[in-house]
A and B are shown apart, each in its own frame.
Chain A
Amino acid sequence: MIRTAAAVLRKDLLIEWRTKEAVPAMALFTVTVYVLFHFGLDRDSLDGELASGVLWVTLLLAAVIGVTRLFAAEREQGGLDAFLLAPVDRTAMFVAKAAALFVYLVALEIVAVPAFAVLLLGPDLFDGLPELVLILLLADVGLAAVGALVSALAAESRARELIVPLLLLPLVVPLLIGAASATEPLFRAGGEPEDLGRYLALLGGYDLVFLLIALAVFDFLLDD
């Protein structure tokens, strides 16, 4: 199963590298939204909960773009049939897609987080980098799992572009709560990470539950 997932993942990353459809769009969208926030909030710099909130909400909205595109190639170019015809474990498709989304999100964050620091974060507020990376990674795992599931659910729908955000955003509220609350003290001058353990536990629990659920039900989305 892992080998099959690796083959599918490799194919997806190759296509993304060639077509550059998902990640650049997500990155561009994120930076644009930061600019919007600058004008909308009429602030030169943010700190504390405002900074944390803007960062995470923007990332989640950008994730919607990635999630919508995730199964697009399969759907449009018959890739799903090709996979279903092969003598493989079908769960590999979920693993591969979730892994691909994880990679896209990390790539996005490599651009978006520094951009955020430069554009919106007040000076000298960026101390807790290791903690931030940990929060980002944990959140990305959950986002990847839920995103892959939602993408597959919406793939057969006529109104895919509408369904994905409506479905994804409520489902990631717990993730937003955990991530934003954990990040908030990091963006405060002289702030110490409080309650970090509690929020990381929330993120970890969320990741685990949704990974398990997605693994359990995904096959039913592929069967006919």
Chain B
Amino acid sequence: MAEPAIALDGLERRYGERVALHGVTVRLEPGATLAVLGANGAGKTTLLRVLATLLRPHAGRAAVFGSLLPGDGWKVRGRVGYLGHDPLLYRALSGRENLAYHARLHGLEPARVEQRLSAVGLARRADDPVRDLSKGMVQRLAVARATLHDPDLLLLDEPRANLDPAAAEALEPLIGRASGRARVLVSHDVDGALAEADLALGLRAGRQAFCAPAGEIDAKTARELYA
């Protein structure tokens, strides 16, 4: 059997004396989608950052594609794509230059950049500096960046922010269920997230409120997280 995309067991992460994450236990198979729900400050972003190997676990077990974090985190960096609140793009450089930089960091061929630019519909504006692009375009570029290296696991924090329905639709093959990648999805659109997820994880003040197949979670349970 293939390794799970994510295997967390009692994951803990502190911020000084405060608990950011505690006792998070979840297992996600390759290609499946995990919806992470919770109010602001519940630890959703922290969880994503731990999975992205940007933060190290303080206690518990965390493995991505079988590689144990933090020690073996470097092994999976090429397989994880992170799309957070920050697009991680340099405003003074153009879209093409930004993607070319990321391509070099990941050791990818330059042709990949052109292909992605077309895929997100930015081929014509690729030479404009990022600061001249609208929020929607920046988001599309960020998606291009996050998927440039064809990651097997996508970590998505509000991926459809600033996107109109047509743009969101166009990005489905890259970051949606259709992409076939394992996904961890953080969204405030509870119903939407549950609809496209296989598993749902609820966080309240850093602690795990529930973790169950998405179909078993009803809207009421989910909304209690925000109470």
Give the interface of A toward B (CB within 8 A). 3-4, 7-8, 10-11, 14-15, 18-19, 73, 77-79, 81-88, 223-224
Contacts and interface: CB of A to CB of B under 8 A. Distances in A.
10 contacts: A7-B101, A10-B104, A73-B90, A77-B88, A77-B89, A82-B105, A83-B105, A86-B102, A87-B74, A224-B56
A81 B88 contact: yes
Interface string B68-98: 0000001001101010101111111100010
B54 A11 contact: no
A15 B74 contact: no
B19 interface: no
B135 to A, nearest CB: 15
Contact of B55 (A73, A77, A85, A224): A224
A12 to B, nearest CB: 10
A63 to B, nearest CB: 23
A11 B93 contact: yes
Contact of A223 (B56, B78, B89, B105): B56
Given A15-B93, A18-B92, A86-B106, A81 B54 contact: yes
Given A7-B104, A11-B101, A87-B77, A82 B88 contact: yes
B77 A78 contact: no
Contacts of A18: 92-93, 129
B97 A86 contact: no
B97 A14 contact: yes
A10 B19 CA distance: 40
A43 to B, nearest CB: 42
B101 A85 contact: no
Contact of B91 (A77, A81, A88): A77
B154 interface: no
B86 A81 contact: yes
Contacts of A82: 88, 102, 105, 145
A3 B54 CA distance: 22
Contacts of B35: none
B113 interface: no
Contacts of B101: 7, 10-11
B54 A87 contact: no
A7 B102 CA distance: 9
B170 to A, nearest CB: 23
A165 B220 CA distance: 56
Nearest to B89: A77
B88 A79 contact: yes
B62 interface: no
B94 to A, nearest CB: 10
Given A7-B101, A7-B104, A11-B101, A85 B93 contact: no
Contacts of B107: 87
A210 to B, nearest CB: 27
Contacts of B97: 11, 14
B57 to A, nearest CB: 11
Given A77-B89, A82-B102, 5 more contacts: A4-B105, A11-B93, A78-B89, A79-B90, A85-B77
Contact of A84 (B54, B84, B87, B91): B54
